[in-house]
């Protein structure tokens, strides 16, 4: 049983990946006591073969799922800073740690409950190093409503500009979009289950859900309006159904029991001409104490965002209820690194092989029964 008494029914990654799974802790403390590093994003630059990793460093954590705010933090105000390191491609040892400087000068909402760019995903698009992250402070009209921001990065990894990605989806909180790494232009998988791909200019592909005017999401499972900070999201839906209950019968058929749906985790890395590999998470609240339980799934999509394959659900870290994969890198020899955080407290990298991942993937039949809103 994991720490905190959280039960789960999912096999460990080592079982799903045939035993070829090893992990190492990469937590760092660049900003001293009261700052915890987690949710790392490992990235292999397809242009230079440079291995980098961005770590989210925040003044709060969730050990055993229990919120813990730094004694030095301003009451009710969470903050994220980011640290970037280079990794040795052979050993994944850390070198050259430095803070990611935020050089963009956009105005910030003074009443925002959480500052900083959260869960940064590094990727290359159009030959430039970029990132996508969750932001709360850029939404001046609706402070603390999470939205996605596209970040331009310098060669050192500093944020030179940040632009909120707004569109039809902006009436609802947005988090965890998955960028296509190495694409000719910016392409982001906004919804894994519905195959919705967007760019910095709007919707590119509607994937398997072609009806943008479909039925609205039931109020009982709609995300709360202020759900950007993980320490504030432990709640129950208004209908009395636990937040995280299945959205629809179609979703329930394709997901593990008690889950919501696949949500973005890592970047999408191209492994064949029109096949992109990613790792996504699902989450629900435990009935006993309303603590969060996460698990992960490997999947592939084509360039339109249509899912081709997926693995069975599994736990990256069976000892923890909360786990969150934010990075994926594949080397030229078929080695794979997956970076993830646990309990918003620690950072890890797990390694396996592309061969083991291929054996874990099963084909997905097209499911045209999932009719609903393209943008959720």
Is 3 among the domain residues? no
What confidence tens digit (pLDDT) does each residue in 79-120 have?
999 999 999 999 999 999 999 999 988 899 988 989 999 999
Q: Does residue 21 lie in a domain region? A: yes
pTM of the prediction?
0.84
Evaluate whether residue 297 is within a structural domain. Answer: yes
| 132 in any annotated domain | yes
pLDDT-based confidence at residue 143 (cuts at 50, 70, 90) = confident
- CB atoms under 10 Å from CB of 370, counted, come to 19
Query: Domain for residue 1, yes or no?
Result: no
In this predicted model, what pLDDT tens digit does every residue of 146-204 receive, in sequence order?
A: 999 999 999 999 999 999 999 999 999 999 999 999 999 999 999 999 999 999 999 99
| Residue 212 pLDDT > 60 | no
For residue 41, what is the domain's CATH number?
2.115.10.20
Query: 78 in a domain, yes or no?
Result: yes
Q: Does pLDDT of 237 surpass 50?
A: no
Residue 174's alpha-carbon distances to 33, 169, 191, 197, in angstroms, are 31, 8, 10, 14
Establish if 224 belongs to a structural domain.
Answer: no
CA-to-CA distance for 299 and 319, rounded, in angstroms? 23
- Say how far apart CA 135 and CA 115 lie, in whole Å: 8
Tell how far CA 97 is from the center of its chain.
Answer: 22
On whether the CB atoms of residues 60 and 73 are closer than 8 A, the answer is yes
- What digits encode the pLDDT tens for the residues 27-77? 899 999 899 999 999 999 988 999 999 999 999 999 988 888 898 887 768
pLDDT of residue 217: 33
Q: 51 is written with which tokens?
A: 């291995």
Could you read off the pLDDT of 314-362 as tens digits, one per residue? Answer: 999 999 999 999 999 999 999 999 999 999 999 999 999 999 999 999 9
Per the structure, the complete domain to which residue 349 belongs is given by: 13-215+246-363
- Backbone Cα Rg of the chain: 19
Based on the structure, what is the number of domains in the chain?
A: 1
Q: What is the mean pLDDT of residues 262-286?
A: 94
Return the pLDDT at 111.
87
User: What local confidence, expressed as pLDDT, does residue 371 receive?
Assistant: 33
Residue 8 banded pLDDT, cuts 50, 70, 90: low
Residue 220 within any structural domain of the chain: no
SS3 letters for 162-204?
EEECCCHHHHCCCCCCEEEECECCCCEEEECCCCEEEECCEEE
Identify how many contiguous H helices and E strands the chain contains and give both numbers.
Answer: 3, 24
């Amino acid at each position: 049983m994991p720490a905190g008494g959280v039960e789960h029914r999912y096999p460990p990654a080592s079982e799903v990946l045939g035993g070829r799974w090893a992990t190492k802790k990469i937590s760092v403390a660049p900003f001293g006591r009261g700052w915890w590093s987690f949710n790392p994003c490992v990235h292999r630059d397809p242009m230079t073969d440079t291995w980098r990793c961005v770590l989210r460093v925040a003044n709060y954590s969730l050990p055993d799922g229990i919120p813990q705010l730094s004694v030095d933090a301003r009451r009710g105000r969470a903050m994220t800073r980011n640290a970037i390191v280079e990794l040795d491609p052979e050993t994944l040892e850390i070198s050259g740690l430095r803070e990611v400087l935020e050089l963009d000068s956009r105005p910030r909402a003074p009443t925002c409950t959480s500052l900083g760019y959260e869960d940064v995903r590094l990727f290359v698009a159009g030959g430039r190093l970029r990132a996508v992250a969750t932001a709360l402070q850029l939404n001046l009209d609706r402070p603390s409503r999470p939205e996605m921001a596209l970040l331009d990065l310098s060669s050192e990894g500093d944020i030179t500009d940040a632009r909120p990605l707004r569109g039809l989806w902006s009436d609802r909180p947005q988090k965890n979009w998955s960028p296509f790494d190495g694409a000719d232009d910016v392409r982001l998988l906004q919804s894994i289950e519905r195959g919705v791909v967007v760019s910095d200019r709007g919707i590119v592909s509607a994937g398997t859900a072609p009806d943008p005017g479909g039925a609205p999401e039931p109020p009982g499972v709609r995300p709360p309006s202020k759900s950007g900070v993980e320490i504030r999201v432990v709640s129950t839906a208004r209908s009395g159904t636990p937040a995280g209950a299945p959205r629809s019968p179609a979703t329930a058929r394709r997901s593990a029991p008690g889950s919501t749906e696949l949500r973005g985790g890592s970047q999408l890395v191209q492994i064949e001409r029109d096949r992109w590999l990613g790792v996504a998470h699902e989450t629900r609240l435990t009935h006993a104490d309303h603590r969060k339980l996460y698990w992960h799934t490997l999947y592939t999509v084509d360039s339109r965002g249509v899912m081709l394959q997926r693995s069975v659900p599994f736990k990256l870290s069976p000892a923890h209820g909360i786990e969150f994969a934010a990075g994926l890198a594949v080397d030229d020899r078929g080695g794979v690194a997956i970076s993830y955080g646990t309990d918003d407290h620690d950072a890890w990298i797990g390694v396996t092989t592309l061969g083991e991942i291929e054996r874990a993937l099963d084909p997905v039949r097209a499911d045209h029964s999932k009719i609903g809103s393209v943008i959720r």
